[in-house]
Amino acid sequence: MEDIPDSLILHIFDYLDYKDVTSVSQTCRQLARVANDEILWRNLFHRHFVISPNKFIDPLCTPSWRTEFIRLIDEVPIIETEVVTKHTDQVLHVAFSHDGKRFATTAKDGYVYVWRSGYPVKLEYSQNMKTFSWKYTQFSQFNESDSLLLVSGVLFGLHSTSGEIAIFSLKDNFELQCRTMSKPYDIFGSWYSEMFFLSGNLHWLGQMVSKSVIWLNKASQEAESEHASVMNELYRFYNPKASSVRSLMVANCVEVENPSNGECSRAATNEEEKVDQAKSSQSLDIRDIRTGNPLSNLPLERELMEREPPASQRSLQGGFQSWKPFENVSDINYSDGYCSERSPGQSSRASLQSPSDLDSADNSTEETCGASSSQLSNELAGCVGGTPAKRPKSQKKHRDQRDISPSKCSSVEDESEDEFLDPRPKWLIFTCGSKTYTPHQLGFKKINPMSFNGKIDPGPTLKERIEEYKRRKQLERTGEQDASINWSDHARVAHRFDEVDKIIDLHGHVIGMALSPDHRYLYVNSRPWPEGYRISSELDPPPIAQEIDLHVIDLTTLTQVGMMRRAHRAYTPNDECFFIFLDASDLYIASGAEDKHGYIWDRHYGISLAKIPHKDVVNSVAFNPIEPEMLITVSDDMTIKVWRSRNLCRKLEINTEKLKFGTTLYSVPKGNA
C-alpha cells in the first residue's frame, strides 16, 4: 500500500459511498489519512444528500464537510424515544420555553399541560380550562424569562368565533394571573415584552367590512384604582371583503451588516408587491374533510351575511379537477441573494485539502486522521460504539422572543429609554386578506419603542355610552349601516385606521408561521390557489391545493428569499382549513402535515431530511431551543411524541434497538416518498 500514491487512493474512494469509505479507513493509517480528505467528503456530501455542487458549507457550523456529513446523519431528531398519551382528544399545539427546560401542550380536551423536558418527560402543571367556559385550548407561548405562560382557547358556542387568552405564573404554582377576550379566536395572542401581551377584537362596521383592534395588556391586572388602565389600544386595522386580522406574531428587528435599506425595511406599496410576488401555480383536487384544530369562522359569517355560495364554487372542482397527486418530497429553492449572503469567505474554501497535501502528511497527522475516521465509521457504519466528533452548537444564545407593539399608547418620541416597555424596535406580523375572507396575505407593521398609558380616559358619560350602545345594537339587528359613515368606501374612512406598512400576497390560504431563532427569517405554510384563479365573491375563495408550499421571508428586507413547492400535504377545503404549526431552529425547519407525518428540512442546504410518523394529522412541532436534537410533535391521534437524534440518545444512554425511526428523504428522488 505504501507504494500507491494518495491521489490514486482518493480517486478510488470517489466511487465508494460513505459506509465503504469509513470501513476501508480502519484497515491502515494511510487509508485512514486519505479517508479524512475534505474534498472527498465534500463530494460524498453532495452526492449522498443530493444537493448542488455549487452549495457551500453552512457558515453557522464547523467548516468541515466531514463534520457536516456527521451532523445530517447523526444529529437530526428522527428516533421516537417517547410517546405520551395524557391528552384525551386531539392535541393542537406544542411550545417550548426559551431555556428548553419546559414545554406546554394544548388540546381539544380543554386542558393545558406543562411538562419538564428531561428524559423521560414529566408532567409539572395542568389546568382544565373548561371550568372557564372554554371549548378547548389551542395555543400557548412562554414569555422571555419563562416565568409566565400565555394560553389561548376557544369559548363554548355552536359557531363561536370568540376566544380568550389566559396568563399563568410558572413561579406561583401555575396561578392564574388574568383572562382577556380575543376575537376571532385564531388571533392567538402573543407576548410583546416581559409583562405585556397582545390580544385583539373584531368589530363589524357594515356589509363585509370590519375593523380589527389590537390591544396591549398587562399580564398582571391587579389595579390600585378604578382609574388605572390594564390595557391600551394599539392599532385599528381596516378589514375589507369579510377578512380579519389573525395569527399575531412579533419579531425583533434585526440589524445586518451592510443592509440594503439601513434598518428594518419600511413598507413598499401593494402595487409593487403584486409585481414582486408570483402567483402560486399548482395544487390538487380536494377530497377529505377533517376536523383538525381551529377551523375558520366562515359558518357564522355566512349566517351573519345571510348568504350561501353557489354549489359549483363549494364543490372544489374546476382548476383542480384534472390534477394528479404529487408526493411530498421537496427542497427549498433559495434566491441568489440569500445563497450569496450565506456563502463562506475564501478562507473557508481554502481549507480543502488536495491530493498533494495528503502525500506530504506526517505520521502524527496519520494517527489523528485514523482515530477520526474510526469514530465516523463506528457511528455511521454501525461498527463498534464510540463518540462522534463534537460540533459547536450554533447560536444557542438566540432567544425566540415573540413580543408585541403600540399605536394608541403614549407617544414615545420624547420618552427616555428607561420608560420604554421594550427598547427594541419590532415587527408586528399577522395574516389578513383583501380579496376574500380566507387569510391569504401577510401584514407587517413597524413597532417603535413605546410606553404604557396607565391612566384611563373617562371618555363619554355613562348615559352617552348606553345610548350609543343601544344605537349600534339596533343597527346590528336590522343589518343596516351607520348612515353617518360609509364604511365600504375605504378612501373616505382610511384616516380612522392605522396603515399597514407592508403587505405580501401569497395567493393561497396561509396556515402556519414561524420565526427563526434570531428573528431574521419568517417561515410560512400556505396552500396555494390555482394559476389564473378568479374570485367571484369574497365568501367564495378559489379552491386550495392539497400540497402545502413553504415560503421564506427575509425580515430585514421584507422580501421572499426562498420557496418550497409541494412541501407536504393537506386535504381540508377552505371552510374547514386549520393551522399547521411549524418551527425553526438554527439548523433545521420542521412542520406538521395532514398526511399523518411531520417533516424536517435543513435550513441552509434546503434539503428534505426526514419524515416522522403519527397515526393522524400532525398539528404542531417544536424544537428544543437549547438542544435542537430534540423535537416534539403533537397530533390528532391524541399523542405527544418526543424525537431525539442518534447522538442525543447515546448521551442519554437510550437503547435505540427497539425504537421506531423516521424515514430519511434526502436520497429519495424528488416527487416520490
Nearest to 139 by CA among 84, 201, 185, 73: 185
Tens of pLDDT, residues 77-117: 999 999 999 999 999 999 999 999 999 999 999 999 999 99
DSSP calls for 108-127: TTSEEEEEE-SSS-EEEEEE
Nearest to 497 by CA among 205, 264, 265, 241: 205
Count helices and strands in the chain by DSSP H and E runs: 15, 31
The CA distance from 567 to 593, in Å, is 9
The CA distance from 98 to 367, in Å, is 42
Whether 481 and 437 have beta carbons less than 8 Å apart is answered as no
Let me know the angle formed at the C-alpha of 214 by 210 and 620, rounded to the nearest 5 degrees. Answer: 100
pLDDT at 488: 87
Residue 587 pairs in a beta bridge with: none
The alpha helices in 16-169, defined as continuous H runs, are 18-24, 29-34, 38-48, 65-74
Q: With a cut of 60, say whether residue 267 has pLDDT above it.
A: no
pLDDT at 179: 95
The CA distance from 433 to 437, in Å, is 6
The CA distance from 123 to 116, in Å, is 6
Tens of pLDDT, residues 652-670: 999 999 999 999 987 655 4
Q: With a cut of 60, say whether residue 19 has pLDDT above it.
A: yes
The CA distance from 662 to 528, in Å, is 28
The CA distance from 313 to 346, in Å, is 56
**Cβ neighbours of residue 284 under 8 Å, at least 6 residues apart?**
320, 323, 324, 325, 326, 545, 546, 547
Half-sphere exposure of 301 (CA within 13 A, CB side): 26
The mean per-residue pLDDT over the stretch 543-550 comes to 85
Tens of pLDDT, residues 188-241: 999 999 999 999 999 999 889 999 999 999 998 776 667 778 899 999 999 999
Sorted by where each begins, the domain ranges of the chain are 6-74
**Span 6-74 CATH architecture:** Up-down Bundle (1.20)
Share of the chain above pLDDT 90, in %: 47
- The pTM assigned to this predicted structure is 0.77
| R_g (Cα) of the chain, nearest Å | 27
Whether 315 and 575 have beta carbons less than 8 Å apart is answered as no
* pLDDT interval class at 480 (50, 70, 90): low
